[in-house]
């Protein structure tokens, strides 16, 4: 699939996820195969966000600098983490509802595990925005350098 097809599909998915979560839709509470639909929808939203950012800059391939290559690799790692997010969240919480309890024995399912869970979500939401800004600035300065 090309970047021209991935970007609008990802934006549409992000839009649907934002609308569902911002309105507190009852769809989020439905059980799909014993899994809350909100967890699955969030998972699709995280993957879509990273694919939208990645396809917006056509795979971050234009920059030949080390910083540009590092940003590309970092984006690919973030995409892989977003794909594995559901499994990671299940392992941290110990359940498909991603519920954490202060009565959990050990680390998994405990409030300490929930801190890691939320930090992963924050990184998956904030890092693409920061990386797209840095990459845009990098490309701007590279083009500026090329014109001189």
DSSP, res 25: -
Average pLDDT, the chain: 89
> What's this model's pTM, rounded to 2 decimal places?
0.87
pLDDT, mean of residues 130-136: 92
Of residues 85 and 57, which shows the higher confidence score? Answer: 85
Q: Return the pLDDT at 34.
A: 86
pLDDT, mean of residues 101-121: 88
């Amino acid at each position: 699939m090309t970047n021209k097809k991935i970007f609008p599909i990802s934006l549409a998915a992000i839009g649907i996820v934002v609308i569902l979560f911002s309105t507190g839709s009852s769809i989020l509470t439905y059980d799909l195969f014993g899994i809350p639909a909100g967890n699955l929808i969030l998972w699709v939203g995280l993957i879509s966000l990273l694919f939208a950012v990645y396809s917006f800059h056509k795979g971050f391939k234009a920059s030949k600098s080390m910083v540009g290559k590092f940003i590309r690799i970092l984006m690919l790692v973030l995409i892989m983490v977003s794909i594995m997010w559901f499994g990671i969240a299940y392992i941290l919480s110990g359940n498909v509802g991603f519920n954490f309890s202060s009565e959990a024995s050990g680390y998994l399912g405990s409030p300490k595990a929930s801190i890691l869970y939320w930090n992963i979500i924050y990184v998956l939401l904030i890092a693409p925005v920061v990386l797209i800004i840095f990459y845009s600035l990098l490309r701007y300065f590279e083009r500026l350098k090329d014109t001189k």
